[in-house]
Amino acid sequence: MPRLKTIEWGDNSVRIIDQTLLPARLSYCKIDSITATYDAIKTLKIRGAPAIGVAGAYGLYLGMADFPEDRSVTDFLIYLDKNVRYLDSSRPTAVNLSWALQRLRTKAKEISAGKTILQIKQALLEEAHAIFEEDRTNCRKIGENGFELIKEYHTILTHCNAGGLATTEYGTALAPLYIGTERGRIFSVYADETRPLLQGARITAFELNEAGIPVTVICDSMAASVIAAGKVDAIIVGADRIAANGDTANKIGTYSLALVAREHKIPFFVAAPLSTFDTAIPSGNDIPIEEREPGEITDGFGKRTVPDGVAVYNPAFDITPYRYISAIITEKGIILPPFETGISRLTAEN
Amino acid sequence: MPRLKTIEWGDNSVRIIDQTLLPARLSYCKIDSITATYDAIKTLKIRGAPAIGVAGAYGLYLGMADFPEDRSVTDFLIYLDKNVRYLDSSRPTAVNLSWALQRLRTKAKEISAGKTILQIKQALLEEAHAIFEEDRTNCRKIGENGFELIKEYHTILTHCNAGGLATTEYGTALAPLYIGTERGRIFSVYADETRPLLQGARITAFELNEAGIPVTVICDSMAASVIAAGKVDAIIVGADRIAANGDTANKIGTYSLALVAREHKIPFFVAAPLSTFDTAIPSGNDIPIEEREPGEITDGFGKRTVPDGVAVYNPAFDITPYRYISAIITEKGIILPPFETGISRLTAEN
């Protein structure tokens, strides 16, 4: 259903949509080095937890592709570790990046005995392709599973962008809407604009509009009033990291939506692949929250909107405690409260 | 304490700060007609419920000042009614505008018998001056009363601008902070930027910074996370209209703050003069909510941030139900729940 190619491999490089230019321009850029990957992730040319996992995997391969093949495998693995740490530092909150990088690292270590550097490089690229393909399949499954939850609903509110442009194709939070649309259901969506970087207004509205799904943009501060007026049947958001107890890090502003949903007795769903779960950490208290540049708030639109000399605080994510979440939609099924059990079971199977 | 002159009468005209230019430029503009007043209110050059009440009163006088003095008092009063309706239509939600216009209208009718048109005009100007002076006094009283509530606190969060720039001098929500500062207390403030028009970032941050009160600007979506982290002791906001039961219309985004405050057990205070109460209406359901141009959201910063053809919804206010409000601070004292009794008593005395 979504026709936009968020990320594609070809010609020994990655082609991505430069999302900082949306909605004014649908423009692609070519990434052919690990430093360009770091930059693209850091500056949000590519963003969305699953998409930066895929981009990170390809970027790590690109960082290793030129490693001299006459050197030792040990040196190769040391350099790989260094590159993993480098790329992983581009964005701290979404665990998918770290998960993808570790997956390539583990692959390299597992197969390194008796293999040439060329063969290990090839295995890294194949692993990156596998992550890409799994993301496509998993998001489609999230869509199918999520559709079962929302098929009786009409109007869905979402925050930030957890759509096709946050993944390889179907998205997470928006996947159930795409699947439903393929099956002839008509949904309409309220998209929070999502300050400071307006991923909702710029990206979610763009991709839903491209797909012919009616969307209305509101400011983040308007969601509560729209929900209080009875205009929203359910909220679905994505996630950047989910702790073992279900506490969920997602774009700043998610937590207050969850409070409003509970107050007005509408369901609040989180949609995410299993790669977003971090069962090594017990609760949201342990999730690192990225703090970004004040300029995103003070000069986000080309004109200074905060007086000089005034302090600004710009956390990029917040934590929604598990108790406000109605269900978590994954590729392996729906997890219902109490989440700890379901998360433990599904991630163990994975 | 606040040194900015939001609105001043002189030379047969009103001088206001053009608040659309803040924080880049502190620029004054002169208003010498009723149409210029209408325009200044509609385009938010002057804004804030009490300030538009004062501006409206002077504007109505300006609309009547050139009325030919050889015509009948009856014609004068008919023309006055027409001008009242005209100015009152500039912004529908804040009741202070309507209240001030009706006050001038009532004055004119009361004294019209046996008076010349010149004398009635003079009485209108005096009434406008009285409204101005009462606003100064009342806001100072709100500050003194509110200070008693917050004197043990350190960090206050506010939304939009209910400061000196929303009134003639001390503000409503910010008045307790100014009074406290005069008395040597040190407060710090989180100011929600307040999309779409950023009155918090542009105006509240500006005036607090001018007054030397430490202020940190956050996006509206960040308030819940800042509160959840225990960084806020209390929330104080202004009001545009308060119904007989205490339901409060205020800038869009206020309602969700009230929900977050309750969840995290911090007090949520509303500060407003008695002219903001509309006891003719029983509850918030009956308060008209102004819907403003989509362009405020889509093109607010000079660059289009929503794709062409995508719907936008832009309500300027929301309703906070009385049950989320800890206390209402007025010039006549603090009203505690159940509000109905206190509101009825204080407004009857007025």
Query: B310 to chain A: which residues are within 8 Å by CB?
Result: 205, 209, 215-217
Q: Give the pLDDT confidence score for residue B303 in this predicted structure.
A: 80
Say which residues have a Cβ less than 8 Å from residue B47's Cβ, sequence separation at least 6: B19, B41, B161, B166, B199
pLDDT of A2 over the 80 cut: no
Residue B302 has a pLDDT of 73
Q: In the CATH scheme, what is the homologous superfamily, with its name and number, of domain B141-349?
A: Translation initiation factor eif-2b; domain 2 (3.40.50.10470)
- Which of A225, A226, A315 shows the shortest C-beta gap to B225? A315
What's chain B's average pLDDT?
97
The string of pLDDT tens digits covering residues B68-121 is 999 999 999 999 999 999 999 999 998 999 999 999 999 999 999 999 999 999
- List the beta strands (DSSP E) in B187-247: 188-192, 215-218, 234-237, 241-243
Q: A347: pLDDT confidence band, cut at 50, 70 and 90?
A: very high
What's the mean pLDDT in A231-247? 98
ipTM of the complex: 0.96
**Encoded amino acid at A320, one letter:** T
Contacts with B, A 239-268, CB within 8 Å: 252-253, 255-256, 259-260, 263
**Per-residue buried b or exposed e for A113-146, using 16+ beta carbons within 10 Å of the residue's own CB:** eebebeebbebbbebbeebbebbeebbbbbbbbb
> Three-state SS for A44?
coil
Question: How far A334 CA lies from chain B's nearest CA (Å)?
Answer: 27
Q: Tokens 């998205």 — which residue?
A: A171
pLDDT band with cut points at 50, 70 and 90 for residue B2: confident
- Summarize pLDDT for B246-262 with one digit per residue, the tens: 999 999 999 999 999 99
Tokens of A74: 């040990």
Q: Are A223 and A260 in contact (CB under 8 A)?
A: yes
User: Which residues numbered 212-241 in A keep a CB inside 8 Å of some CB on B?
Assistant: 214-226, 228
Q: Helix crossing, A34-42 with A73-88: angle to 10°?
A: 20
Average pLDDT over residues A77-97: 96
- Whether residue A307 is predicted with pLDDT greater than 90 in this model: the reply is yes
Residue B41 has pLDDT above 70, yes or no: yes
Is residue A185's pLDDT more than 90? yes
Per-residue pLDDT, averaged over B257-279, amounts to 98
The mean pLDDT of A316-324, rounded to a whole number, is 98
How far apart, in whole angstroms, are the C-alpha atoms of residue B124 and residue A150? 60
pLDDT value of position A300: 78
Cβ partners under 8 Å of residue A314, min gap 6: A196, A291, A292, A293, A294, A296, A297, B218, B219, B222
pLDDT for residue B1: 67
For residues A233 and A244, give the distance between their C-alpha atoms in angstroms, rounded to a whole number.
Answer: 28
Delimit the domains of chain B by residue range. Answer: 7-137, 141-349
The CA distance from A175 to A165, in Å, is 11
Q: How many CB atoms lie within 10 A of CB B85?
A: 10
CA angle A281, A283, A285 (to 5 degrees): 105
Distance CA B159, CA B3 (A): 21
Indicate whether A27 pLDDT > 80.
yes
pLDDT of residue A302: 73
Q: How far apart are CA B271 and CA B59, in angstroms?
A: 25
Q: CB B64: neighbour CB atoms within 10 A?
A: 21
- Give pLDDT, residue A134: 98
* DSSP H or E segment with residue A176: helix A175-182
Task: Provide mean pLDDT across the span A225-238.
Answer: 98
Task: Assign domain B7-137 to a CATH class.
Answer: mainly alpha
| CB within 8 Å: A255 and B228 | yes
Q: Which residue bears the tokens 């506490």?
A: A247
Closest CA to A194 of A303, A312, A318: A318
Grouping H, G, I as helix, E, B as strand and the rest as coil, residue B222 is helix
Q: Specify the pLDDT at position A75.
A: 97
Measured at the CA of B190, the angle between CA B188 and CA B195, to 5 degrees, comes to 155
